[in-house]
Amino acid sequence: MKSILKNTGIILLAFVTIISFTNCKAVQNANNKQKGAVIGATGGAILGAIIGNNVGKGGNGELGAVIGGVVGGTAGVLIGNKMDKQAQKIEEEIPGAEVERVDDGIVVTFDEGSGVYFATNKYDINATSQATLNKLIGVFKEYPDTNILVVGHTDSQGSEEYNMTLSKNRAYAVTNYLSNNGISSGRLTTNWFGETQPMHDNSTGEGRAKNRRVNVAIIPNEKMIEDAKKQAGE
């Protein structure tokens, strides 16, 4: 009976917490899977959010393995609450970034309008980008039980081979900046896809600017998952 009451209390607490975050844009954009006890095992939605419709050529790790599946039951609710809080914090700290809650993770998209951007044919982290990334680093340190995936993209200007290398260099510029400023390299994975994953129309200047992007996916690590399962009594 005590166990039943405990689990019921956790579910009620989680429900109240979710309601309290409905003003967060990232949470408002979340589908019903993030807002309840989920049963599922796919990272397909978050993969689509960070790379588009098709898998590209670049990268140093299997994205599906990095992202993993969706945690179900009460543990999934508890994890969702933590990720909701982190998403809201990112929105507060970096209002120009696009923040989405997808599955059990968070996808942050940086382009020329969001504070992390690169000059044409460049991949160095400029002063404006540093200021934005420093805010993101602060959030990562506040929520240490997550892994971080950095994914680089370009527009279609230039050769495909050149753009693949450019997207790799830009993604690693972000990854290296994070690791050089207090984020454990063990939390970080880097991938790149050149021009192969456009999310916008490359025939327009606005579309190309949005395709010159770096996505950061934030995923619960094993510690967060195990802690949630223990708390839920699962």
Can you tell me the distance from the alpha carbon of 87 to that of 3, in angstroms, rounded to the nearest whole number?
Answer: 31
Paired tokens of 86: 């982190």
CA distance 77 to 166: 39
Q: Indicate the range of 23-32, 92-101, 220-229 predicted with least confidence.
A: 23-32
Handedness of CA 13, 19, 20, 21 (dihedral sign): positive
Contact criterion met (CB below 8 Å) for 61 and 219: no
pLDDT for res 203: 93
Average pLDDT, the chain: 79
206 pLDDT more than 80: yes
pLDDT above 90 covers a percentage of the chain that reads 47
Using CB atoms within 10 Å of the CB of residue 171, give its burial: 0 to 12 exposed, 13 to 18 middle, 19+ buried: buried
Tokens of 69: 């599946």
Q: Tell me the CA distances in angstroms from 89 to 82, 126, 209, 218, one per residue in order.
A: 11, 23, 26, 13
Residue 116 in contact with residue 131, Cβ under 8 Å? no
Counting the structural domains of the chain, the total is 1
Q: Which of 146, 112, 149, 148 is nearest to 132 (CA)?
A: 112
Beta pairing class for 105-110 and 98-102: antiparallel
Q: pLDDT category, 73, cuts 50, 70, 90?
A: confident
What one-character-per-residue DSSP string does 59-95 give?
-SS-HHHHH-----HHHHHHHHHHHHHHHHHHHHH-T
User: Greater confidence, 40 or 228?
Assistant: 228
Please give the model's pTM, rounded to 2 decimal places.
0.78
Per-residue confidence (pLDDT) for residue 133, from 0 to 100: 95
The whole domain housing 115 covers 2-232
What CATH number should be reported for the domain holding residue 48?
Answer: 3.30.1330.60
- Could you report the per-residue pLDDT of 16-50, keeping only the tens digit for each? 343 344 455 554 444 323 322 232 334 678 887 78
- Name the pLDDT band for 58 (thresholds 50, 70, 90): low
Q: Could you tell me whether strands 188-192 and 146-152 are parallel, antiparallel, or unpaired per DSSP bridges?
A: parallel
